[in-house]
Chains A and B, each alone.
Chain A
Amino acid sequence: MVHRQLGKKGPLVFALGLGCMGMSFAYGPADEAESLRVLHRYLELGGNFLDTAEIYGPYTNEELLGRFLRDVARDSMVIASKFGIRINADGTRGLDSSPANVRRACDASLKRLGIETIDLFYQHRVDPKVPIEETVGAMAGLVSAGKVRALGLSEAGPETLRRAAKVHPIAALQTEYSLWSRDVETNCVLATCRQLGITFVPYSPLGRGFLTGAIQKLEDLDPTDWRRTNPRFGEKALQANLKLVETVKNLPAGRAQPRHSWFSPGSLLREMTWSPSLARNVFTILKRTWALSM
């Protein structure tokens, strides 16, 4: 089994995490029975790292994981969740990383997940209205209270990471990274993580499913699927981006698995991100559709 440590002293996690957002949110209708089967299969195969957030659903994704966690040993899973996107009474959303909201969100997530400690608690997006020192200070208080084991940020830039790490060790940074989203290689994000000992957690490593080749046209997505509003999935962009999928299919084949004529984009990304020339301490987060074929 391949495991990675989150930060310098954080939890040890399986190299392929399971991103659970799509089980309840954004990628079309939810299927709880299928999602629970995937979660159990992932555990059976040695996986131990689940990723969720308050905003996924909202709330229902954490509740789903809570139902799963009731049936498995707590120490068999490392649970990551996120706060910082507030859902207003009228349904609109906004950023809120105020210390009061950090504490409220943590308590609410713990309740929905049915656990006593969140293993990795991320700020979901940087809130420009609240200094990162105040937010991380509140998060550090949750560690002291035993409600959280390790801290993370998501989609933060290098300067924010440096400021945050001065307040409390940051175990992980989660940011989009795939063969069509590689800006972290050149904007100092990966370099800063390496320098500070922060594990980089790439989300959407398969380009939100696009790099698998399963999405050939807009109609392949459910009418409620959020990706229909994503610029890369617009009718013209999607067709133009299929050239990338064809290129990925014809990239050099992995040598350790002769039974595969070509390897998945996920494995490719993993190898690229673990390359000494790019970054260490990186692992990918699989999504539901790929987990089913594990």
Chain B
Amino acid sequence: MGALNVKLTESDLQEISARLAQIEVFGERYAPDMMALVQRA
């Protein structure tokens, strides 16, 4: 619940985005049969 009090500045957010942009995520979020069911237009 303490997470609700955390504040991040714009520069924090930029730094977070920059660091995460360097990380590759391996694997889809679901197996193919379940991926077919998500975010349908």
Contact = CB atoms under 8 A, between A and B. Distances in A.
B31 to A, nearest CB: 6
Contacts of B3: 16, 263-264, 266-267, 270
Contact of A260 (B2, B23, B25, B29): B2
Nearest to A248: B20
Interface string A225-239: 000011111101100
B2 A156 contact: no
A184 B3 CA distance: 23
Interface string B7-29: 11100110110011011111111
Given A125-B38, A155-B38, A272-B16, A257 B27 contact: no
Contacts of B20: 179, 244, 247
B5 to A, nearest CB: 5
Contact of B7 (A155, A231, A256): A256
Binding site of B, secondary structure by majority: helix, strand, loop or mixed? loop
Nearest to B20: A179
Contacts of A270: 3-4, 6
Which of B1, B7, B25 has the most A CB atoms < 10 Å from its CB?
B1
Contact of B13 (A179, A256, A271): A271
A243 interface: yes
Contact of A231 (B5, B13, B27, B41): B27
Interface of A: 2, 15-16, 45-46, 95, 125-126, 128, 155-160, 175-176, 179-181, 183, 187, 189, 229-234, 236-237, 240-241, 243-244, 247, 250-252, 254-257, 260, 263-264, 266-268, 270-272, 275, 277, 294
Interface of B: 1-9, 12-13, 15-16, 19-20, 22-31, 37-41
Given A231-B29, A232-B29, 10 more contacts: A45-B1, A46-B1, A155-B38, A157-B41, A175-B38, A247-B23, A251-B15, A255-B8, A270-B4, A271-B7
